[in-house]
Structure 1
C-alpha cells in the first residue's frame, strides 16, 4: 500500500482524552486571594440535580434504543448544566480574575502552581500525532466543555511548549469573562458556520435558550462549524473523545475514535461503551489502517474505533485508506 497522503482534520476532546485528569477542579488555582470558595462546594447540588433529572427522564436508559433517543437525552442535560453554571457564577468563585489576549499570565501562573502541587497524567503520543497531522498539511483542533480555553492552552504550553507550536492548535471551549465578573461565556451564533463566545453583563437579559459548550449537542454544533471549510476541501475529519459528551461528535466524524484504557477504564469510558453496546454500534480496536467513506461500515456508518493512546491512532492514520 502506498504511503498515506491524505489530509486530516483532527479534533480532540481535552479532559480524559489528551490529559487523563479532569482539570476543571484545578480551576481553583485561578481563584483570587480573598476567595475561599472551592470547586468541591458545587458538586453536591450538581449531583442532586443530575440524579433527579436522570430519574425522571423518559425514555429511561434501558428503553433508549436509537441514537436519536440518546442524543435527545444528552441534549436534555443542558438544563442541568445551565443551573449548575448559574449557581457557580452567582457564588463569585472566580470573580476578580481579569485577563486580556495580550496579558493572560494568570493562567500560566496557576498552571505553574499546579505543576508543583498536582500530578497530571498526559496520554501517550499526543505531540507526535499532532506533528503527523501537520506534516500532511492537516489541521488540529481541541473541542472541550471545559470552562476555560485559556487554562487548557496554558496546561498544553507547560507540558508540550518545547515540542509543538501550541498556538497553532485551534481551541474551542468556554471561557471566563475577562472583565472579572466570574461568569462564563455563552455561544452566540452569527450563522450556521460562525459563532463567537460572549459574556453576560449585569444589564443583560439572558435568553432562555442561551448556553455555552455544555452538552454533546453543543459540541457537535461547534464541530460542524469548524469542519465546514475542511470538509469542502475534502479533508478527512477525525474526532477523538472519551465520554458521552463526545458521542455525537464521534458518530458524525468521518472517523470516530473513543479513548479507552485497557486497565482501569474510567467511569466516563465505561459509560460511553455502555451506549455503544446498548445501541449495537460496532466498536472495534484501532488497527494498522482505517477505512472511511463507503468502506467505513456495513451498517449506515455505525462503526467506531477504540484506542488507549495516540501512538495507536497515529499508526492507524498513516495507513488510512478508502
Structure 2
C-alpha cells in the first residue's frame, strides 16, 4: 500500500528520527580514524599493517561471496536474503579485527580523547547543516508536550564512546550510550502505554541516544581484549541487525497509541532495509556519490524503487524514499512542511 508521507504526513506532530553515523552525519567513513587511536595511544607501528590485512581480507571475502551469486537480485525479498548472507562476511571481518589485537588494552579515555581530537583537527567533519539540524530538532521538542520527537543514532561503528565524544565536540548536546537495560526500557515504555500508563520518560525532552557497538571492557583500564561487544540484544554489524534494532526502538505515541512515524537517514547499502522499513527514508548523496552511496543507489535502481530529491514536487511512491545532499536540505524540507504557527513556536526561528 502506498504511504503518502511527503504529501499527507503532519510534521507538526512527533517524528522518530533515526540516523546513521558514518557517511551520513559525517562527510566520510570514520573507521580509519578510530583505528588510528590505538596506533597513537599504544605507539604501535604494526597496527597499520594489521588493519590493511583486515581490509584486504574483507574485500576479498565480500567479492568472493558476491561472485558466487551469478546475478544480483531484482526484488526486495531476494535483496534481503542477499544482505542476510553478507552478515556472515561482516561477522568474519569482526573476528579478524578482534584476533588482530588492534584494540586490545584500549581504555575509554583513549577513545574519548581520540574522538575529540578528530573533530579538532578536522579528521572527522560533520556533514553540512548537521549541527543546525540537531539543534532544530531539539528546539521542536521545546514546544511539544506529550507528543515529542525522538532522536537516535544507529550505527555499525565499533564504538559508542568514540561517536558520542566526537558529536559532543561538534554540537552543544550530551549523547547517551545505551546498554541492554536501556534497550529494555524502550520496550517497557511501550507496554506501559498499552496499559494506559504514561511513564514519566514520555514527558522528557529530546534524548540523543547512540546505538552502536563497543570495544569490550574499556571502562576497566588495560583489561580490554579488543573484541567487539553489543549495546543490546546483539551486535550491529549488518543491514538486518540495523533493521532489528529499528523495530525494537519504535515508539508509541501516548495520545494515539499508534507508532510514531520514523524518518531514517542513511547513505549506504547497509542502510537499505531501514530505509525501506521507515515511513520516510532519506538517502544522503554527494555529487559525485561515494562508493558506498553508489552501491545503495544501484540497489534501489535494480529493485525499481524510485528515489526523487527531497525538495522536488511529485507524487509519493510505495516506498517513500528520497535523497538529499545534506542536512540543510532536510531541515528546509521539514520547515516547508511545518505549519507557520508551529514554526513560530520553535525557539530561535
Q: Name the TM tier (shorter chain).
A: 0.7 to 0.9
2:152 pairs with one of 141, 147, 165 = 141
1:255 pairs with one of 257, 265, 280 = 280
1:47-66 to 2 correspondence within 5 Å?
47-57=59-69, 60-61=71-72, 64-66=73-75
1:40-119 to 2 correspondence within 5 Å?
40-57=52-69, 60-61=71-72, 64-98=73-107, 104-115=108-119, 119=123
Taking a change above 3 Å as real, the CA distance of residues 146 and 66 of structure 1, as seen in their structure-2 partners, is: same
Task: State the partner residue of 1:214.
Answer: 237
1:169 correspondence with 2:211: no
1:318 pairs with one of 314, 335, 340 = 335
Q: Within 1, Cα distance between the matches of 2:258 and 2:293?
A: 33
Taking a change above 3 Å as real, the CA distance of residues 320 and 224 of structure 1, as seen in their structure-2 partners, is: farther
Task: State the partner residue of 1:304.
Answer: 321
Taking a change above 3 Å as real, the CA distance of residues 107 and 232 of structure 1, as seen in their structure-2 partners, is: farther
SS in 2 for 1:141: strand
Q: Within 1, Cα distance between the matches of 2:268 and 2:329?
A: 19
Per-residue CA deviation, residues 102-154 of structure 1 (Å, 9 max, x unaligned), is: xx322222134434655333211112222332324311100000111111111
Q: Within 2, Cα distance between the matches of 1:50 and 1:97?
A: 29
Task: State the partner residue of 1:26.
Answer: 33
Taking a change above 3 Å as real, the CA distance of residues 17 and 67 of structure 1, as seen in their structure-2 partners, is: same
1:235 correspondence with 2:269: no
Task: State the partner residue of 1:276.
Answer: 300
Q: Within 1, Cα distance between the matches of 2:303 and 2:92?
A: 30
Taking a change above 3 Å as real, the CA distance of residues 247 and 317 of structure 1, as seen in their structure-2 partners, is: same
Q: TM-score with structure 1 length normalisation?
A: 0.80
Q: TM-score with structure 2 length normalisation?
A: 0.74
1:183 correspondence with 2:227: yes
SS in 2 for 1:282: coil
User: How far off its partner does 1:233 sit?
Assistant: 4.8
User: How far off its partner does 1:57 sit?
Assistant: 2.6
1:124-163 to 2 correspondence within 5 Å?
124-134=128-138, 135-136=140-141, 137-160=148-171, 163=172
1:37 correspondence with 2:76: no
Taking a change above 3 Å as real, the CA distance of residues 92 and 242 of structure 1, as seen in their structure-2 partners, is: same
Instruction: Please tell me whether the aligned partners of residues 279 and 320 of structure 2 are also in contact (alpha carbons under 8 angstroms).
Output: no
Per-residue CA deviation, residues 245-266 of structure 1 (Å, 9 max, x unaligned), is: 00010011011110111x2210
Q: Within 1, Cα distance between the matches of 2:160 and 2:84?
A: 22
For the aligned residue pairs, the C-alpha RMSD in angstroms reads: 2.6
User: How far off its partner does 1:302 sit?
Assistant: 2.1
Structure 2 residues not aligned, in runs of 5+: 1-7, 142-147, 177-206, 218-222, 339-349
User: How far off its partner does 1:288 sit?
Assistant: 7.5
2:310 pairs with one of 283, 286, 299 = 286
Q: Within 1, Cα distance between the matches of 2:88 and 2:260?
A: 35
Per-residue CA deviation, residues 170-213 of structure 1 (Å, 9 max, x unaligned), is: 111111002411100146xxxxxxx44xxxxxxxxxxxxxx621
Task: State the partner residue of 1:203.
Answer: none
User: How far off its partner does 1:289 sit?
Assistant: 8.4
SS in 2 for 1:238: strand
Task: State the partner residue of 2:185.
Answer: none
Instruction: Please tell me whether the aligned partners of residues 118 and 166 of structure 2 are also in contact (alpha carbons under 8 angstroms).
Output: no
